[in-house]
């Protein structure tokens, strides 16, 4: 990279860190830190939702799918459009009405309202673990991008490890300082930078530099230009892992709570869906296809960074790279603040109440979880693996009790606990043991099946003490009738 690219890159991230510093003194309470005072508009929240859901993991992952599958890889984010719009109509209005009545801060707060503290605590553990995994996936995405572009010439340390350290410091620093306000407002900036960088700069410059349509058409396989180059099992895996996340994601609940009212919350989700598909979905896979033209022998997820630094002109490369890093940070910060909310609000506050300055305790929790996520990023090698594994664990453990909380007349506490254990546990065992599954399906579907069975079976059995009381009443009534 040219020094001009480094200057563009450094200026951009200095501005992002400053936003975190700016909001450091603006957060006067935990409500400010985690839900932004419930006064943020639909435009900012909608762009933040899209930035959070897509982020660097899916941006780099989409490039890899474009490299291997072509245009069909865009169906990955079509599931995001479906999930966002269903949530906007079905669950978001209900959730916002409850929030306005009770003042919720987290997703487990909703489950505590519908069930009890035990269910909420279990959800906090599952959600917290999942979001630490999400955060590490985004940090890994940023590390791979930086190692293949900005820090590729480092010789005194492994470039990937060095990149992970730098990305971790940036994400943890401004997220822990600024809370949800810094996250949402920087997401808006970062999403605008990403869209401009990809659509207005990255694709046009790469297209011309590589020789235009004739070269691209002659280099790529025919199936790369088809939307049907994907099998049913892959579509099912994406749908099972991604659509349900729109009903259980702590990051999304925080954004519903951060909006002013029900109308603003619903509008934010509709905006997010459009940004996901077709805008970013098509842009991401097209850049992956162009990366294959330029570097056909490269690793699919590393080809895109090579394209950005090797093909784009001076200045443009730095800006487009900054846009990709902004995607990484926009999801990493949201996932980190979500995990922090689970730990501080749903666990520490419940079991270790404090009369002190809880904003500073929130900052410390965020710092510790950021370090943990950074360490976890060193363990994995593929970005989409860690993201989809985290999705599987959370969806299998949380979807069934959450939907029951929204729609059941009498949500079952025992059913919720059993479904969390069986659903999340099944997915976790299948992931950890790498058990081959029929038709290439992922663990989410099997975890959901076990979760549904556990909920309804346990609910049908009822509470043993309650059943005994009912039997005693029946015996008493029978004796009275005989007398």
Choice among 4-13, 272-281, 421-430 with the minimum mean pLDDT: 4-13
H helices of 25-158, where?
Answer: 30-35, 42-68, 75-90, 92-102, 107-114, 117-147
- How confident is the model over 266-292, as a mean pLDDT? 92
* Arithmetic mean of pLDDT over the chain: 83
pLDDT score of 383: 56
Which DSSP symbol is given to 226? -
pLDDT score of 15: 80
pLDDT score of 122: 93
Number of domains in the chain: 1
Q: Is 39 helix (H, G, I), strand (E, B) or coil?
A: coil
pLDDT tens for 311-338 read 777 777 777 777 777 777 777 878 888 8
pLDDT score of 384: 56
Does residue 402 sit within a domain? Answer: no
- pLDDT exceeds cutoff 70 at 82: yes
69's CB contacts (< 8 A; 6+ apart) are: 223, 224, 229, 230, 285
Does residue 194 sit within a domain? Answer: yes
Of 46 and 431, the one with more pLDDT: 46
Long-range contacts of 344-347 (CB under 8 A, 24+ apart): 344/30, 345/30, 345/34, 345/105, 345/106, 345/108, 345/109, 346/106, 346/108, 346/109, 346/120, 346/121, 346/123, 346/124, 346/128, 347/121, 347/124, 347/125, 347/128
- Give the global pTM: 0.82
pLDDT score of 465: 47
Which residues constitute the domain of residue 296? Answer: 3-384
Choice among 79-93, 184-198, 288-302 with the minimum mean pLDDT: 184-198
Q: pLDDT confidence of 293, banded at 50, 70, 90? A: very high
pLDDT tens for 228-256 read 999 988 898 888 878 998 999 888 998 99
Find the distance separating the first CA and the last CA of the chain, reported in whole Å.
96
For residues 62-84, one letter each, b for 16 or more C-beta atoms within 10 angstroms of the residue's C-beta and e for the rest, the string is bbbbbbbbbbbbbbbbbbbbbbb
> Cβ distance 108 to 344 under 8 Å?
no
Q: What is the CATH number of the domain that holds 320?
A: 1.20.1730.10
* Consecutive H or E run containing 175: helix 159-195
Of 151 and 294, the one with more pLDDT: 294
Q: State the Cα–Cα distance between residues 297 and 84, nearest whole angstrom.
A: 36
CA-CA distances (angstroms) from residue 439 to 38, 54, 165, 233, 389? 45, 27, 39, 7, 18
- pLDDT exceeds cutoff 90 at 216: yes
- How confident is the model over 389-402, as a mean pLDDT? 88
Backbone phi, psi, residue 463, to 5°: -85, 120
Backbone phi, psi, residue 259, to 5°: -80, 165
Q: Could you tell me which of 129, 63, 84 has the C-alpha nearest to residue 384?
A: 63
- pLDDT exceeds cutoff 50 at 473: no
- pLDDT exceeds cutoff 80 at 19: no
What is the DSSP secondary-structure string of 327-383? HHHHHHHHHHHHHHHHHIIIIIHHHS--SS-HHHHHHHHHHHHHHHHHHHHTT-S-H
> Cβ distance 203 to 213 under 8 Å?
no
- pLDDT exceeds cutoff 60 at 409: yes
Q: State the Cα–Cα distance between residues 298 and 311, nearest whole angstrom.
A: 15
- How confident is the model over 383-408, as a mean pLDDT? 84
Does residue 424 sit within a domain? Answer: no
Does residue 172 sit within a domain? Answer: yes
Q: pLDDT confidence of 356, banded at 50, 70, 90? A: low
Does residue 364 sit within a domain? Answer: yes
Q: Is 31 exposed, middle or buried (0-12, 13-18, 19+ CB in 10 A)?
A: middle
- How confident is the model over 169-179, as a mean pLDDT? 75
pLDDT score of 432: 80
> Cβ distance 190 to 325 under 8 Å?
no
Choice among 100-104, 256-260, 448-452, 472-476 with the minimum mean pLDDT: 472-476
Does residue 271 sit within a domain? Answer: yes
Does residue 165 sit within a domain? Answer: yes
Choice among 7-21, 287-301, 445-459 with the minimum mean pLDDT: 7-21
Cis before 278 (ω within 30): yes
- How confident is the model over 383-387, as a mean pLDDT? 62
Extract the tokens encoding 1.
Answer: 């990279």
pLDDT score of 320: 73
Of 429 and 388, the one with more pLDDT: 429
pLDDT tens for 117-131 read 999 999 999 988 888
Does residue 312 sit within a domain? Answer: yes
> Cβ distance 16 to 291 under 8 Å?
no
For residues 438-464, one letter each, b for 16 or more C-beta atoms within 10 angstroms of the residue's C-beta and e for the rest, the string is eeeebbbbbbbebbbebbbebbeeeee
* Consecutive H or E run containing 399: helix 383-407
Q: State the Cα–Cα distance between residues 194 and 198, nearest whole angstrom.
A: 6
Q: pLDDT confidence of 477, banded at 50, 70, 90? A: very low
């Amino acid at each position: 990279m040219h020094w001009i690219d480094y200057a563009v890159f450094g200026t951009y991230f200095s501005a992002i860190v400053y936003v975190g510093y700016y909001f450091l003194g603006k957060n006067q309470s935990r409500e400010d830190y985690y839900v932004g005072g419930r006064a943020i508009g639909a435009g900012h929240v909608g762009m933040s939702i899209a930035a959070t859901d897509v982020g660097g993991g899916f941006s780099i992952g989409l490039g890899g799918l474009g490299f291997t599958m072509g245009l069909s890889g865009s169906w990955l984010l079509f599931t995001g459009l479906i999930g966002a719009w269903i949530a906007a109509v079905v669950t978001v209005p209900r959730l916002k009405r409850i929030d306005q009545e009770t003042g919720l801060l987290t997703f487990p707060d909703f489950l505590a309202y519908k069930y009890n503290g035990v269910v909420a605590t279990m959800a906090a553990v599952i959600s917290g673990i999942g979001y630490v995994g999400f955060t590490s996936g985004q940090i890994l995405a940023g590390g791979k991008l930086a190692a293949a572009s900005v820090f590729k010439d480092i010789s005194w340390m492994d470039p990937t490890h060095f990149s992970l350290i730098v990305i971790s410091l940036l994400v943890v620093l401004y997220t822990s300082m600024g809370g949800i306000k810094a996250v949402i407002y920087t997401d808006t900036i970062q999403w605008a930078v990403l869209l401009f960088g990809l659509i207005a700069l990255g694709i046009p410059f790469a297209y011309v530099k590589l020789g235009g349509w004739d070269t691209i058409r002659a280099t790529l396989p025919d199936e790369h230009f088809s939307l049907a180059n994907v099998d049913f099992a892959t579509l099912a895996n994406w749908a099972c892992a991604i659509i349900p996340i729109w009903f259980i994601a702590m990051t999304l609940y925080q954004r519903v709570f951060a909006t002013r009212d029900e109308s603003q919350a619903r509008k934010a989700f509709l905006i997010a869906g459009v940004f996901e598909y077709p805008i970013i979905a098509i842009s991401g896979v097209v850049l992956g296809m162009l990366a294959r033209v330029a570097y056909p022998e490269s690793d699919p997820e590393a080809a895109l960074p090579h394209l950005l630094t090797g093909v784009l002109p001076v200045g443009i490369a730095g800006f487009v790279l900054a846009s990709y890093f902004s995607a990484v940070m926009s999801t990493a910060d949201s996932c980190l603040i979500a995990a922090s909310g689970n730990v501080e609000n749903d666990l520490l506050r419940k079991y270790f109440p404090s009369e002190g300055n809880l904003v500073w305790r929130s900052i410390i929790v965020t710092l510790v979880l950021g370090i943990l996520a950074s360490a976890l990023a060193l363990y994995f090698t593929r970005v989409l693996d860690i993201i989809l594994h985290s999705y599987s664990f959370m969806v299998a453990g949380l979807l069934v009790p959450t939907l029951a909380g929204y729609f059941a007349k009498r949500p079952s506490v025992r059913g919720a606990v059993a479904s969390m254990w069986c659903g999340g546990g099944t997915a976790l065992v299948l992931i950890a043991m790498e058990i081959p599954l029929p038709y290439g399906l992922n663990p989410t579907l099997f975890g959901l099946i076990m979760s549904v069975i556990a909920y309804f079976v346990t609910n049908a059995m009822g509470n043993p003490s309650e059943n005994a009381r009912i039997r005693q009443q029946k015996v008493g009534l029978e004796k009275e009738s005989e007398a």
